Structure formats: C-alpha cells, structure tokens
Amino acid sequence: MSRNHKNLKAFQLSHDLAIEIYTVTKAFPRQEVFGLTNQLRRAATSVPSNIVEGCARRTLKDYLHFLYIASGSLAEAGYFIELSHELGYLGREVFERLNERHNHCARTLQALISSLEKKDC
C-alpha cells in the first residue's frame, strides 16, 4: 500500500515544528551543541522521519509501529522544549509558540493513530 506522507497533516505539522526547532536552537549556548541542542533536534526530526518511514511500509501494522515511534519522539521533544525553557534558553513567547505547535502536532498525530487503529480491528 503506497501512502504519500506529504498529504498527512501530522507530517506537515511535525516537519514545520522540526524546522522551527532548528531555527531557535541556533541561539542556544555553544556548550549545548552536543547536548540539549542535539537532543532536541534529533527528537524533533525523528517525528516526521518516522512518519515518512511508516508511510513506506506495506502493512498497516508496520505503518502504525512507526507512528507509535513518532509519537514517542514527539513526547521526548516536548520534554526538551520544556527543559530548554526552564534553563532559560527559550523565552516565554518562543516557548509558548513551540509548546502550542507541539501540542497541536501531538493531537493531530494521535487522531491519525486512533483512526488507523480502528481499521486494524
């Protein structure tokens, strides 16, 4: 079964979130380049990349498996966004914008997973 990830709202939102995270982490302290900056970027890019990989899989079960991984990576990115704010690397306005984008992405991804789980029954 061929799926086009570019048509999925969950992919679009997670891709946009990853781009914004790359942009804002450019201003993180240099000493975080191999620490929090790297971890946040990797978690953020893992979300759309796992959606893409899932779309390329043949079975619904495999597709869902990669969406579950994407969901876990999104939760991890959410934690790193909070941590970045608490450490003072993200101002309130940027934090709130990233947090809202993260939450919107999480709701959308969960809706996709739930709809596919119903088909899998």
Nearest CA among 56, 57, 49, 55 for reference residue 17: 49
Q: Give the tens place of pLDDT for each residue, 24-69.
A: 999 999 999 999 999 999 999 999 999 999 999 999 999 999 999 9
- DSSP class of residue 58 equals S
Note the pTM of the prediction, 2 decimals.
0.94
Phi, psi of 4 (to 5 degrees): -100, 110
Residues 6+ apart with CB under 8 A from 86: none
- Read off the pLDDT band of 1 (50, 70, 90): low
Domains and CATH numbers, the chain: 5-120 (1.20.1440.60)
Query: Under a CB-based contact definition with an 8 Å cutoff, are residues 18 and 76 in contact?
Result: no
Q: What is the pLDDT of residue 120?
A: 66
